[in-house]
Amino acid sequence: MHDQPPAPPFGKDPATIVRQADPFNAGPPLPILRADFVTPVERFFVRSHGDVPQVDPAAYRLRIGGLVERPLELSLDDLRAACPRYTVMATLQCAGNRRQDLIAVEPIPGELPWGAEAISNAAWGGYRLGDVLALAGVAPAAAHVCLSGLDETERHGERFTFGGSLPLAKALHPDTLLADEMNGQPLPPVHGAPLRVVAPGYIGARSVKWLASITLAEQPSDNYFQAVAYRLFPANTQRDSVDWDSGIMLGELSVNAVICTPGAGANVPAGPLEVAGYATAGGGRAVARVDVSADGGATWRAAQLEPDSAVWSWRFWSITLDLPDGQHELVVRMIDSAANTQPAEPSLVWNFKGYMSNAWHRIAITAGSGKGAATWDI
């Protein structure tokens, strides 16, 4: 008899790659991630900094305060009665997605070693954050919308809740939601029930789950996860000598592209090979072109963009390559509608927190016996 590996919690797919058991941080293997444009809930990646809080929906109140005309405490019924419902298709991507590529350049202790699976796409249903803020009335001095969750986490011996903030204009964007539905189903506890923020095109950290309070302010949130973490530091900055205020506070996502099939190290028959993956553009821009190389980046061909698309969603792509017997380095890079493109090497974007890893994605594969000539410099 073989021991079955324990099924992952929260109803997640048995194939889920668990990066951390407690708190639960996990995502699907890349071929499974690439199977559906809209990621099924049981495959959607999870990034949580603490335990999933248990929330009684009847007792739940959303507090709105700070620079508002009328501080409010709203029940779920109050929201239902006051606000129209909307659905927005949006990809969530963690700022730590693809951290492994940076770790390969230089270790990044104390951060999750994500592959390229810290990303998923869903149809989010709920209320416009702007409609909810209008109930309280935004005061003229307000410039940032601070969001705080119910979950607690510990850093450097202190316990506090997860939080972050959005610039007011982003919070008021009609596609920024307080979601209580995911792919037409009630939002599951692990994804932030009863109510989470969805800030499309921003790093996942700004889509605060288990939303407890909204505070309007002149400055960004002073929560650890806005003020200290999720800042981007230059490559030569190290943790022990860092001036924390010198990092860029992350907001909009950057461009990225990843090969999902075949997997790194695959052995495939020589001849035609379908290569497929995802690409993302930040800030609501479009993926304009995806280039694929079968020779380590010496020559490139344009991949086909799959027909499914939505403003805030990833774009799937595929291409059929004809590979002779031998070793091959497949590479992908993309360019967005504003001509933003990716750096060739992860060393160019290495940072000690391991965020925004978006170098050309490279995988080595073997076709046939592998004894033919390598098409790239090994």
Ligand X SMILES: Nc1nc2c(c(=O)[nH]1)N[C@H]1C(S)=C(S)[C@@H](COP(=O)(O)O)O[C@H]1N2
Minimum separation from the CB atom of position 365 to ligand X (A): 29
C-alpha span between 217 and 163 (Å, rounded): 14
The residue within the footprint of ligand X, chosen from 99, 128, 173, 209 (CB under 6 A), is 209
Size of the site for Mo ion (CB under 5 A): 4
For position 45 contacting ligand X by CB under 6 A, the verdict is yes
The residue within the footprint of ligand X, chosen from 205, 214, 281, 292 (CB under 6 A), is 205
Whole-Å CA distances, 320 to 113, 260, 308: 30, 14, 19
For position 125 contacting ligand X by CB under 6 A, the verdict is no
Whole-Å CA distances, 298 to 44, 319, 361, 366: 35, 17, 14, 18
Give the E-state strand segments of 183-255 in sequence order: 185-186, 196-198, 211-217, 231-232, 248-249
For position 162 contacting ligand X by CB under 6 A, the verdict is yes
For position 312 contacting ligand X by CB under 6 A, the verdict is no
> Residue 374: what residue type?
A
Size of the site for ligand X (CB under 6 A): 18
For position 151 contacting ligand X by CB under 6 A, the verdict is yes
Give the binding range for ligand X (CB under 6 A) out of 41-49, 289-297, 317-325, 365-373.
Answer: 41-49
Considering the complex, state which of residue 74 and residue 203 has its C-beta at the smaller distance from ligand X: 203
Q: Give the list of residues 6+ apart from residue 366 with CB closer than 8 angstroms, or none.
A: 265, 266, 267, 268, 326, 327, 328
Minimum separation from the CB atom of position 147 to ligand X (A): 8
Q: Is the peptide bond before 194 cis (omega within 30 degrees of 0)?
A: yes
Minimum separation from the CB atom of position 332 to ligand X (A): 22
Residue 254, contacted partner among ligand X, Mo ion, none, CB below 5-8 A by kind: none
Minimum separation from the CB atom of position 56 to Mo ion (A): 27
Task: Please name every residue paired with 123 in a beta bridge, in sequence order, or none if there are none.
Answer: 89
Which residues form the interface with ligand X (CB under 6 A)?
A: 44-49, 92, 94, 149, 151, 162, 191, 204-205, 207-210
